[in-house]
Amino acid sequence: MKVEEALEVLETVLPPGSLNAVKRKVFSQAWEGKAYSEIAEQAGYDPDYIKGVAANLWQSLSGVLDEKVTKKNFRALLRQKFGTHKSCLAKTELNIQQYIFQSSTETKKTLSKPKIDWGEAIDVSVFYGRSQELNQLQQYIIGDGCRLVALLGMGGIGKTAVAAKVAQQLQNEFDYIIWRSLRHAPSLETILTQLVSFLSQQECSQGELSKLIEYLRNSRCLIILDSVESILQTGCTGHYRPGYENYSQLFHLIGETSHSSSLILTSREKPPEVAAFESIDAAVRSLQLLGSKEVAHALLKTNKILGSETQKQQLSEYYSYSPLALKIVTSSITDLFDGDLSEFLQHGTTTFNGIRRLLDQHFQRLSELEKKIIVWLAINQDWTNVKKLQTDIVPAISKANLLESLEALIWRSLVKKKSSMYTVEPVVMEYILHYLIEQVVAELTTANLDLFLSHSLIITTGKRYIKERQNKLIIEPIARQLSTIFSSTRALEQQLLLILNKLQASETSLCGYGIENLINLCMKLQIDLMVGDISPCQIESHKSANTCSQKAIEVLSTVNSKSSNYCTIVPEKLCPAISQADRQKCHESNNSQLLDRSSCVCPTNSVNLSEQTCLEPAKQEDENLLDCPMLLEKMQIPTLGNIAVIASSPNRDFLAIADKLGEIRLLPMVNHQPHLVFEGHTQEIHSIVWSPDGNLLATGSSDQTVRLWDINTGKCLHIFEGHKARINSLVWSQNNQTIASRSEDETIKLWDISTGECLHTWLAENFLQSSTNLDLLSIDMYEFLAPTFYDVECPVSLSINQISFF
């Protein structure tokens, strides 16, 4: 059968006038096997519109042929029914036309006046955007014949409005439409009685599932159940509240039993039946509803918010284009700032009572593990993978439990996922941090510790801009509130000392992050807890290596005990007074092995305990090497692709920006216009460093090479090859003659920049073994508690993640 013959069949079997020009084009090109996107492009229509036209066409054919017709099977069905001979078509034409006449007459009679009970459905006469979501729902319900569709999203995102709009648009496709809200958690018996009574037009009052299914089969019905999360259990994802378990049977039967009707559910959480049965080809589907740019724009315009387009975009993005959140905040902007968006943004308050109450509802429904995870995601301030989360969480949990809880948080629309990484939206993050701060302050005030032990308040080994945020958003507010609550510094010191004593008396496994948090907090408050033995509470360094910043504690020196090492906190003002005897005590300790993370910290200097000599700090990263997100926050630099790392020249005249594709751009600090582009690396660049004189640039990449560039010409002078894995860190010698590189192949190489020759290779593991020579000890000033070891024969300091010369 050719396409012309197929079109002739359609003209014959479909009601007169139903096959317009667009449908003919869609049918013809679909017959040739073209995708909807191709058809749309050639016809000049939106792809979603073409899909809708096709869905309507397949539905019409399904009614005629009494079989479900799709893009995949329509050719085979037409060939099977009508063959390639016109005689076959002529033979069946009379019967088909008679069927079409009867069917269309009955359909028009029935569908011209559908029986509708809108119940508590909202008014959607004023409705903005959402065309893509509406088209998708129509495709599910009409095109694919789905029996159960769940519309999911956060509270206030617009689920109820979208469900009401699509029901309004599809009302002529159904015999009956009924809307019921589950907000007040009616029993299943109540809902069944109302549904059966309506569908039977009050002829039957028996609220039984069997009766409901009977009516769903006999007529084409659309049922909408709003706010399904009201019957789901708080703190236990995927379970119903006691007494509401029988709703599971309702959803199961409607989704799995053959009938021609549809049920739309709106919910903040995914019902378990939807999670179990949905798939691409199944009759059960879900649609995650996100914010809408069109709705956000309309709300700001309607409320006459004054501000630039950039400011309006910033506000909308912060609230993830949530209609309800923007309604609340625009109302506050109007009332408090006379509609001045600029003044509101400068004020810095973004989580108002209405939004907080909305998020309270979500947060209170979480399980304890889900709460613990979402707090960690807020603390991390960045996309986080499963491995890091599993490492962070104490006490330890299984990977299966972690993944299950993350999935539940995604179902609840509180966490978003991208390439196996997880984070939360900005407004949710602010809410969670507010909760964390209030909880920690309450715990410290009462000495009943929970979150203070289970979560690290600042991740000192993280990226610099992340540490700055954590300090600003978590540590500083806690310190301010404590200073306000306690009448004097002395009273606060006594309370923190009480907490320290409580931690001392606890088992090591119960201390969690308590000691690290206490030290960080004491330093922010400038409080010295003098000579405290914290050995029973080992710092949770094996998890995150967290500890205090370098400005608060100068030396934690170590002496031996029969049972454990004592850690004595020596305040900065007392550092010069550390006696020869005290140093000798450390050196002559019976425990002569290399001091480990839980026993020695020297945040500012690398201390040679034998000679009492302070060496220059072993810095984790050159001060000129800036974290990209922090730089982009502080300076208005044009975004150039996927930026991986940025470094400024020694004289601060140029920025070197490396991207994830292996390209480096040199930008003047004055106008930030590209000056030179260095090409050669084939994979992402992880380290970029300037020579001390500012004339050369060295870059290390995942392509396992180090490249040396002339910044005046852009020429690659040398390619240093030899590493077997990505290059993590580079550093120049002060004499400008050598470069050291650190790779994930666990080696460190020293290169001659004149010849490109590898002068020496060290195995990193050799620097991580215990030693009796205390002269090899230093502690990194940024990665506190992460050991760094110095070889006295070579002027290079080596650590597990970075290297530096001194």
In the predicted model, is pLDDT for residue 509 greater than 70? Answer: no
Task: Tell me which of 83-87, 197-201, 606-610, 652-656 is least confident.
Answer: 606-610
Helical axes 489-505 vs 476-485, angle rounded to 10°: 110
- What the block records as the tokens of 67 is 């079989």
pLDDT attached to residue 766: 53
Beta bridge partners of 727: 743
Give just the sign of the alpha carbon dihedral 697, 702, 706, 707: negative
38-42, 627-631, 707-711, range with greatest mean pLDDT: 707-711
Contact predicate 699/687, CB 8 Å: yes
Candidates 447, 368, 379; CA nearest to 401 is: 368
Backbone angles phi, psi at 265, to 5 degrees: -110, 140
State how far the Cα of 134 lies from the Cα of 495, in Å rounded to an integer.
58
Cβ neighbours of 242 (radius 10 Å): 7
Query: What's the pLDDT band for 267 if we cut at 50, 70, 90?
Result: very high
In the predicted model, is pLDDT for residue 46 greater than 50? Answer: yes
3-83 and 366-528 share one fold: yes
Q: What is the 3-state secondary structure (H, E, C) of 294-336?
A: HHHHHHHHHCCCECCHHHHHHHHHHCCCCHHHHHHHHHHHHHH
SS3 label, residue 709: strand
Q: What is the largest CA-CA distance in the chain?
A: 113
Say if strands 758-763 and 747-752 run parallel, antiparallel, or are unpaired. Answer: antiparallel
pLDDT attached to residue 649: 84
- Per residue in 544-586, pLDDT (tens digit) is 333 333 322 322 322 222 233 333 333 333 333 333 344 344 3
Query: What's the pLDDT band for 674 if we cut at 50, 70, 90?
Result: low
State how far the Cα of 446 lies from the Cα of 339, in Å rounded to an integer.
42
Q: What is the 3-state secondary structure (H, E, C) of 90-111?
A: HHHHHHHHHHHHHHHHHHHHHH
Domain ranges for the chain: 3-83, 115-288, 293-356, 366-528, 643-768
Cβ neighbours of 533 (radius 10 Å): 15
More confident residue, 778 or 522: 522
- Peptide bond preceding 271 in cis form (omega within 30 of 0): no
Q: For 729-739, what is the mean pLDDT?
A: 85
State how far the Cα of 43 lies from the Cα of 22, in Å rounded to an integer.
8
Q: What is the pTM (predicted TM-score) of this model?
A: 0.49
DSSP H or E stretch at residue 193: helix 188-199
In the predicted model, is pLDDT for residue 41 greater than 60? Answer: yes
Superfamily of the domain at 115-288? P-loop containing nucleotide triphosphate hydrolases (3.40.50.300)
pLDDT attached to residue 281: 57
Contact predicate 685/645, CB 8 Å: yes
- Per residue in 119-140, pLDDT (tens digit) is 989 888 888 888 889 999 998 9
pLDDT attached to residue 16: 63
In the predicted model, is pLDDT for residue 778 greater than 60? Answer: no
Superfamily of the domain at 643-768? YVTN repeat-like/Quinoprotein amine dehydrogenase (2.130.10.10)
How far is C-alpha 768 from the geometric centre of its chain's CA atoms? 35
Beta bridge partners of 385: 421
Look up tokens 């899909």; give the residue: 51
Query: What's the pLDDT band for 671 if we cut at 50, 70, 90?
Result: low
Fold of 3-83: Arc Repressor Mutant, subunit A (1.10.10)
- What the block records as the tokens of 671 is 């106008």
DSSP character string of 617-667: P--SS-TTEE-HHHHHHHS-PPP-SSEEEEEE-TTSSEEEEEETTS-EEEE
Q: What percent of the chain has pLDDT over 90?
A: 22
DSSP state for residue 208 in the 8-state scheme: -
Q: For 610-625, what is the mean pLDDT?
A: 32
pLDDT attached to residue 545: 34
Choosing among 1.10.260, 1.10.10, 3.40.50, 1.20.120, the CATH entry for 366-528 is 1.10.10
In the predicted model, is pLDDT for residue 164 greater than 90? Answer: yes
- What the block records as the tokens of 584 is 């000798």
- Per residue in 234-251, pLDDT (tens digit) is 777 778 989 999 999 999
DSSP character string of 66-94: TS---TTTHHHHHHHHH-S-HHHHHHHHH
Mean pLDDT of the chain: 74
In the predicted model, is pLDDT for residue 777 greater than 50? Answer: no
Candidates 356, 486, 364, 378; CA nearest to 422 is: 378
Give just the sign of the alpha carbon dihedral 150, 154, 155, 157: negative
- What the block records as the tokens of 344 is 């509101």
DSSP character string of 407-467: HHHHHTTS-EEETTEEE--HHHHHHHHHHHHHHHHHHHHHT--SHHHHS-S--TTS-HHHH
SS3 label, residue 64: helix
SS3 label, residue 255: helix
